[in-house]
Amino acid sequence: MPIDFLGRNSTESADKKQTEEIKWHMPEPDQDSSEQVQKKVKQVKAIEEAKRREVNLVEIFKRFILKRRLMFLSIFAIICLVIVGLLSYYYFTYQPSLFVTNQPVASPQPSPLVRPSPSPTPSPVFSPSPSPSPAPKPLLPDTELAPIRGSLVKFKDEDTLYLVEDNGELRKVDIQSVIFENGQKIDQVKSSLIYTIADRYKNIRRGKDVYGQVDWDPRVLKFAELSPFLQ
For 34-59, how does the pLDDT look when each residue is reduced to its tens digit (9 = 90+)? 777 777 787 788 888 887 777 777 88
| Band (132; pLDDT cuts 50, 70, 90) | low
pLDDT at 93 over 90: no
pLDDT at 208 over 50: yes
pLDDT at 68 over 70: yes
Across all residues in the chain, what is the average pLDDT? Answer: 76
pLDDT at 188 over 70: yes
| Band (203; pLDDT cuts 50, 70, 90) | very high
Higher pLDDT, 10 or 221: 221
pLDDT at 101 over 50: no
The reported pLDDT for the residue numbered 104 is: 46
The reported pLDDT for the residue numbered 100 is: 36
Check if the beta carbon of residue 171 is closer than 8 Å to that of residue 126.
yes
Q: In the predicted model, what is the mean pLDDT of residues 124-153?
A: 73
pLDDT at 103 over 50: no
In sequence order, what are the residues at sequence separation of 6 or more whose Cβ sits closer than 8 angstroms to the Cβ of residue 211? 127, 129, 130, 174, 177, 178
70-83 pLDDT, tens digit each: 888 889 899 998 89
| Band (216; pLDDT cuts 50, 70, 90) | confident
12-32 pLDDT, tens digit each: 555 555 555 555 555 555 555
The reported pLDDT for the residue numbered 58 is: 80
The reported pLDDT for the residue numbered 45 is: 80
The reported pLDDT for the residue numbered 155 is: 95
Taking the whole predicted model, whether its pTM rises above 0.75 is answered as no
The reported pLDDT for the residue numbered 122 is: 55
Percent of the chain with pLDDT over 70: 66
